[in-house]
Structure 1
Amino acid sequence: MLPRLLAIMMAARYYGLELDPGEFRPGAGETVPSAAALSSWAQNAGMWSRALRLRWRHLFTVSGAGPVVLLFNDGSAGLLTGANPENKIVLIRDPRAPEADPPVPVDELRLAEVWSGEAILLRAERSQAEADPPFTLRWLVSVVMKEGKHLRDLLIASVAISFLTIFPPLMVMQVTDRVLSHHSYSTLFLISVILAVAVFYETLLGYARRLIILVVGVRVDAKLNLQVFNRLIRLPLDYFERHPAGETMYRVTQVNTVRQFITGKLMATLLDLITLLVLLPFLFYLNAALAWIVLVCATSIMLIILAYLRPIRAIFAKVITAETLKNAALGETIFGIKTVKSLALEPQRKSLWDEKVAEVGKWRYQMGRMSNWPQTLVTPFERFMWMGVILIGAYLALQDVSGGYQVGSMFAFMMLSQRVSAPLVGLARLIEEWEEVAGSMGQAGEVLNRPLEMDASSGGLRPRFAGSVSFEDLTFTYPGTKLPALDRVNFSIPAGTMLGLVGRSGSGKSTVTRLLQGINREYSGFIKIDGADLREINLRHLRSSFGVVLQENFLFRGSIRDNILSGRPGLTLEDAIRAARLAGAEEFIERMPNGYETYIEEGSPNLSGGQRQRLAIARALITDPRLLILDEATSALDPESEALVNANLLRIARGRTMVIVSHRLSSLVNCDQIMVLERGKIMDIGPHAMLLQRCPIYRTLWNQQNRHMQNEGSGHAVPAPTLLQGD
């Protein structure tokens, strides 16, 4: 094993966690595991981990909290287990050395020869508050505030620009009052130089400020997208089963509206308010009467907008609801386009779409009409803020018989008043736009703030499974129903058993497999795997130990090899070939134009149903699962494809427990045990031959499916053919 992987595993054991080296995913083109890949591996296993660069002096401060993984230049690694500041040495353990060997004391000179500063810090698990913060405006603001260094630079640039903004109006005032009055060319030249310098620095600082805003926006956007996707994939499966994909996608994309508001209009307005704080005192210094005009007009605009917030909020809620339903209809049509085309449902779907579009248009029109009133009422105040300054300033100049009122001051005030009124008006409009942002926040929170799957990424047991399964007095009822899907179910199978599940539709067969995968955990009784309560097992570890093949399996865009190796991307082509051979997929893959590099488009149109199923089985087998679930995996196949899959079942089953759900009893005759379910209860369990004799339900189902195999005049079924066995 690679020494870097071994070092991370030893550090994890210190915190009581066992990492699976098969789950490590190296970066593209990496021959030596990078710090980022190793840190991600630990995080996916439920640990808090951070890759960073340390200096010699830092080793004395981090050594007391647990082992620190140091990544050496030659691709190996060591564990920092202690430090002695007095002797200026640190204690390094080689992960490949026997556990009984003591750590090696190393000084700064020796360590510098092999180590350039790369290290990985590990902790038992991330705190719930940090790992799963609720999606709120407060959390978004906290994400932005973490960019403290950039925000500090942004503040400095904004304040500097605000002071530089004062220079042009001052210079205009001087030109008007002094240069023109005294015909002073030297003063004009000096003012020109000052203006040129001010414009240069204002341009430079403006560029820097826009660049900083861009950097902050990109960084916040990246963090936000990572957090959103992390929460989305950790939602329970029943949420996605109960909500249309189009609705979920629309709600989640509202996050971008909120992010753009925070890093765009909100940040720009706050920065303009800094300009306001700098310029407003100067306006009162120039002319207090005109400054009060600007303040009164801006306050009036704000009050008008605030008065219309509540009715706008009510209409916008209806706009959001209509948009959600419209996008749900669009997503449903796209995802079900095969059914739409095959049943010629285009007119019906178009009629539904027209209805949803009309509903959205109606409420957007209503909102536009309501929003038009504050826009109309504030226009006179906006115009008066600059027109009134001119008219009243001219009146004051005419009334000043002493000649103390300077025209240059009025021109300077006019220039600065525009810079002052803009932030005030912008703040008022910001409050109006907040209604839309608050609606978007609520839409995204409807999805992202739902309860996540328990123990999806941290906590819980991570045992090595052998494959024994037991249900003890288990009762489960789906939400919204009264009758239990499983009612006091009790059974136990040893490791390595092939268990078949049969019964009429709705008898509870698929429910058994859902509970085994931890999809639903609100049941009474116990499910135990190798004696461990399933509720106590880490969900991710549980599911990675299972292989699951469904009736309809989704293949991702990419090559056949990528699809087979999707569960373990670090494995090689030889591993993919081995899994394909075991699943009976090798023969058709080799006939493909590009073999294992054949590209699969979305929906896998270039593959038959049998080929898709065999690829899905190969994908499930690539992790060498101890438990394999086939849930109606052959019911949709043609007889030839089904025979190919069934022919490999015994070979696939070697060394693992298999749970096979099937309506076709012929595919279950070689199972060690077959469990017959009826309305959530176990009617009988035993081998095929025994059930034919003592279980009326099983015998009836068998006779219904095998009438063509019965001898004339005989009511006894002909034994099913023995499945082919591979070597």
Structure 2
Amino acid sequence: MSKNLKKMISYYRPYLGVFTADMIFAIIASAVSLAIPLIARYITSTIIYMDKTEVLHHVLLLGVMMIGLVAVSCYCNFFISDYGHVMGAKIEYDMRAEIFEHYQKLSFSFYDNQKVGALMSRITTDLFDITELMHHGPENIVISVMKIAGAFVIMMCISPSLTAAAFALVPVMFVYAYFFNKKMKRAFKRNREQIAKINSQIEDNLSGIRVVKSFANEEIEKEKFAKGNAGFLNAKKESYRYMGGYHAGLGSFSLLITISVLVAGAVFISDGTVDVTDLITFLLYISILTEPIKTLIDFTEQFQNGYTGFERFLEIMSIEPDIQDAIDAKPLKQVKGAIDFDNVSFRYEENSEKVLSHINLHVDAGEYVALVGSSGAGKSTLCSLIPRFYDVTSGTVKIDGQDVRTLQLQSLRNHIGIVQQDVYLFVGTVYDNIRYGKPDATREEVIQAAKNANAHEFIMSLPNGYETDIGQRGIKLSGGQKQRLSIARVFLKNPPILIFDEATSALDNESEKVVQESLERLAKNRTTFVIAHRLTTIQNAKRILVLTENGIEEEGTHEELLARGGIYEKLYHMHK
């Protein structure tokens, strides 16, 4: 824990000046709160017994002094709220930038085992909890401890017996508040869980609204939602019951401490050990005393949430990407595109079964190779080893005779273009999405890439042409249009090596024809791997490889493989 706390504290380093000022202003604000009742005591015990002219003079002087103290306190509280919160936001910014950068480095194998929602919460909710702790935590402790300790010392100096009466209920108040606070926070956690369920239900319903309406199942959906909504209402009722107990109890304890001081004060005044001025001063200190007790109790929960969030943050940051540049990695230059698989075997996890076993394959620069085989035979996995999305378990993958593990990752991937079945388009315009293939491309280059991908015509028919917003994941475009944009992106990148991963399998016949034409144009004079589901799309390939769990079992042209009457022939008739 101490190691983690040291790491947490290290995030204050760039903002040490603001942090120190924040603590100083917190101390000053607490001192002002403690000073006001003492001034009131001085007025009631000394000044009111002076000559009338002197009383007016001293009261005006003290009034101006108190207004000055209020102004100082006001600025201190403003600084704490403004600059202190900005410091917290900057720490959150630093940590968010750090974890986002780390996410970019992590390999496919990490994302294979993670849910996007869980990773999102690490970068949003967790970081908010951490920065709330890092901003409010030290400041709340300083203010609360100073107020409680200061009030106790001042009250002890005035009257130890009245102090005992005032502090008698404080431990009970702590226990009561801690108990209810715990119950209340647990209830609020259930609220968050219930609202998360409702949100996922709403998202599920709205995403599948076409299916709901096509089955006329609106009433069933309403019933499902009503259950979730009722669960949320019940959770809310429970949280408000505990909240009521918490606030009502603390308010009652503040009054009980006041009553305790009043009763004890009346007794002590009657026997002459305490005077009325002391009693008034004590009553003023009670509110100063009870407020920081609530703050300290809240801090225990705040610390728990923030520290747990920080542990989760460190958990992610400690994960080393399993694929990274070797120390002496060199850039890939003057690429011809010859690729070799030398006795390559691969498994996803240490104890899982091998997906690829002893694969040996040589592909000449500029050659067009089609990969076919049943689902799960390892076609996509084989191609994923070329850009090092995964590393081989044994053997070597080489480009132009160089082991891909000795090359700089960015340089390697810059020379490989991938067109997948599931096209991912980013929120933004058509132009932005094509330009993603080469961020420094000119507008002319983007338009030429779109023309090469048979996309220019349909883009110009869109409401704003290249500046048309395509919506979340390109929702406003058809499958064929999305695929042509992804091909335009690769045209713009202009890589010497291409991988088409079932790029047309989800398209209708008309779209497939247009996209296939774009793909063939793109593949010209480039080393190309085509993973095909529909075997009709690769009939013209001069080299077709049939992959099974045993490795590459058949190889040849479409006609040669059909004539052989083996696995390819069965696959062909199955998917005809």
TM-score range, shorter chain: 0.7 to 0.9
Match of 1:216 among 79, 83, 87: 87
Mapping of 1:502-581 within 5 angstroms? 502-521=372-391, 523-581=393-451
Q: Paired residue for 2:300?
A: 431
2:75 aligned with 1:207, yes or no? no
The answer to whether the 8 Å contact 2:127/2:310 transfers is no
Amino acid at match of 2:497: L
Q: Distance in 2 between matches of 1:503 and 1:528?
A: 23
What secondary structure is seen at the aligned counterpart in 1 of 2:413? helix
| TM-superposed deviation, 1:676 | 0.7
Q: Paired residue for 1:108?
A: none
Match of 1:253 among 124, 140, 157: 124
After superposition, the Cα gap between the structure-2 partners of 1:522 and 1:424, relative to the gap in structure 1 and judged at 3 Å, is: farther
The answer to whether the 8 Å contact 2:450/2:488 transfers is yes
Q: Distance in 2 between matches of 1:332 and 1:446?
A: 32
Q: Paired residue for 2:33?
A: 165
The answer to whether the 8 Å contact 1:316/1:436 transfers is no
| TM-superposed deviation, 1:469 | 2.2
The answer to whether the 8 Å contact 1:455/1:538 transfers is no
Amino acid at match of 2:159: N
Match of 1:190 among 61, 77, 84: 61
Match of 2:24 among 156, 165, 170: 156
Match of 1:175 among 43, 49, 53: 43
Q: Distance in 2 between matches of 1:627 and 1:344?
A: 49
| TM-superposed deviation, 1:540 | 4.1
Q: Deviations over 1:338-372 (max 9, x none)?
A: 66666666666666655556666667767777787
The answer to whether the 8 Å contact 2:385/2:392 transfers is no
2:294 aligned with 1:422, yes or no? no
After superposition, the Cα gap between the structure-2 partners of 1:306 and 1:462, relative to the gap in structure 1 and judged at 3 Å, is: farther
Q: Distance in 2 between matches of 1:344 and 1:253?
A: 38
Q: Distance in 1 between matches of 2:161 and 2:363?
A: 90
Provide the aligned C-alpha RMSD in A. 3.8
2:170 aligned with 1:298, yes or no? yes
After superposition, the Cα gap between the structure-2 partners of 1:677 and 1:202, relative to the gap in structure 1 and judged at 3 Å, is: same
After superposition, the Cα gap between the structure-2 partners of 1:466 and 1:286, relative to the gap in structure 1 and judged at 3 Å, is: farther
The answer to whether the 8 Å contact 1:145/1:151 transfers is no
Mapping of 1:84-123 within 5 angstroms? none
Match of 1:412 among 278, 281, 293: 281
The answer to whether the 8 Å contact 1:136/1:445 transfers is no
After superposition, the Cα gap between the structure-2 partners of 1:269 and 1:397, relative to the gap in structure 1 and judged at 3 Å, is: same
Q: Paired residue for 2:256?
A: 384
2:532 aligned with 1:679, yes or no? no
Deviates more, 1:373-382 or 1:531-540: 373-382
Match of 1:624 among 483, 494, 501: 494
Q: Distance in 1 between matches of 2:429 and 2:154?
A: 67
Amino acid at match of 1:661: I
After superposition, the Cα gap between the structure-2 partners of 1:257 and 1:648, relative to the gap in structure 1 and judged at 3 Å, is: closer
After superposition, the Cα gap between the structure-2 partners of 1:645 and 1:187, relative to the gap in structure 1 and judged at 3 Å, is: closer
Match of 2:503 among 633, 643, 657: 633
What secondary structure is seen at the aligned counterpart in 2 of 1:547? strand
Percent of aligned positions that are identical:
25
After superposition, the Cα gap between the structure-2 partners of 1:591 and 1:563, relative to the gap in structure 1 and judged at 3 Å, is: same
What secondary structure is seen at the aligned counterpart in 1 of 2:124? helix
Q: Deviations over 1:273-303 (max 9, x none)?
A: 3632544433322223333444443333334
What secondary structure is seen at the aligned counterpart in 1 of 2:18? helix
Unaligned runs of 5+ in 1: 1-134, 707-727
Mapping of 1:328-727 within 5 angstroms? 381-400=253-272, 405-437=274-306, 445=313, 448=316, 451-455=319-323, 460-464=329-333, 465-479=335-349, 483-521=353-391, 523-679=393-549, 681-694=551-564, 696-703=566-573
Q: Deviations over 1:647-697 (max 9, x none)?
A: 243431234321111122232234342211123521122333433344622
Q: Distance in 2 between matches of 1:235 and 1:174?
A: 66
After superposition, the Cα gap between the structure-2 partners of 1:384 and 1:358, relative to the gap in structure 1 and judged at 3 Å, is: same
Q: Distance in 2 between matches of 1:491 and 1:497?
A: 13
After superposition, the Cα gap between the structure-2 partners of 1:669 and 1:150, relative to the gap in structure 1 and judged at 3 Å, is: same
The answer to whether the 8 Å contact 1:485/1:679 transfers is yes
What secondary structure is seen at the aligned counterpart in 2 of 1:505? coil
After superposition, the Cα gap between the structure-2 partners of 1:198 and 1:247, relative to the gap in structure 1 and judged at 3 Å, is: closer
Unaligned runs of 5+ in 2: none
The answer to whether the 8 Å contact 2:107/2:323 transfers is no
The answer to whether the 8 Å contact 1:510/1:631 transfers is yes
Amino acid at match of 1:219: K
Amino acid at match of 1:423: P
Q: Distance in 1 between matches of 2:110 and 2:218?
A: 28
The answer to whether the 8 Å contact 2:324/2:409 transfers is yes
What secondary structure is seen at the aligned counterpart in 1 of 2:504? coil
Q: Distance in 1 between matches of 2:262 and 2:71?
A: 30
The answer to whether the 8 Å contact 2:29/2:76 transfers is yes
| TM-superposed deviation, 1:495 | 2.4
The one of the two structures with greater contact order (alpha-carbon pairs below 8 A, sep at least 6) is: 2
Q: Deviations over 1:486-530 (max 9, x none)?
A: 232221212222111111223222222333343333733333333
Q: Paired residue for 2:140?
A: 269
Q: Distance in 1 between matches of 2:166 and 2:403?
A: 71
Amino acid at match of 2:88: G
The answer to whether the 8 Å contact 2:487/2:518 transfers is no
After superposition, the Cα gap between the structure-2 partners of 1:620 and 1:371, relative to the gap in structure 1 and judged at 3 Å, is: same
| TM-superposed deviation, 1:605 | 4.1
Q: Deviations over 1:427-455 (max 9, x none)?
A: 1232245455566567x559845735335
After superposition, the Cα gap between the structure-2 partners of 1:293 and 1:695, relative to the gap in structure 1 and judged at 3 Å, is: farther
Q: Paired residue for 1:112?
A: none
| TM-superposed deviation, 1:632 | 1.0
The answer to whether the 8 Å contact 1:248/1:447 transfers is no
The answer to whether the 8 Å contact 1:137/1:441 transfers is no
Paired residues in the alignment total: 568
Q: Distance in 2 between matches of 1:148 and 1:482?
A: 50
Amino acid at match of 2:262: I
After superposition, the Cα gap between the structure-2 partners of 1:522 and 1:469, relative to the gap in structure 1 and judged at 3 Å, is: closer
Q: Distance in 2 between matches of 1:223 and 1:292?
A: 48
After superposition, the Cα gap between the structure-2 partners of 1:251 and 1:346, relative to the gap in structure 1 and judged at 3 Å, is: farther
| TM-superposed deviation, 1:181 | 2.2
TM-score (ref. length: structure 1): 0.68
The answer to whether the 8 Å contact 1:674/1:686 transfers is yes
| TM-superposed deviation, 1:568 | 2.6
Q: Paired residue for 1:62?
A: none
After superposition, the Cα gap between the structure-2 partners of 1:136 and 1:576, relative to the gap in structure 1 and judged at 3 Å, is: farther
The answer to whether the 8 Å contact 1:162/1:275 transfers is yes
The answer to whether the 8 Å contact 2:89/2:131 transfers is no
After superposition, the Cα gap between the structure-2 partners of 1:655 and 1:278, relative to the gap in structure 1 and judged at 3 Å, is: farther
**Larger helix percent:** 2
| TM-superposed deviation, 1:573 | 0.6
| TM-superposed deviation, 1:580 | 1.4
Q: Paired residue for 2:98?
A: 227
Amino acid at match of 2:22: L
The answer to whether the 8 Å contact 2:323/2:391 transfers is no
What secondary structure is seen at the aligned counterpart in 1 of 2:493? coil
Q: Paired residue for 1:69?
A: none
Q: Deviations over 1:100-143 (max 9, x none)?
A: xxxxxxxxxxxxxxxxxxxxxxxxxxxxxxxxxxx966644432
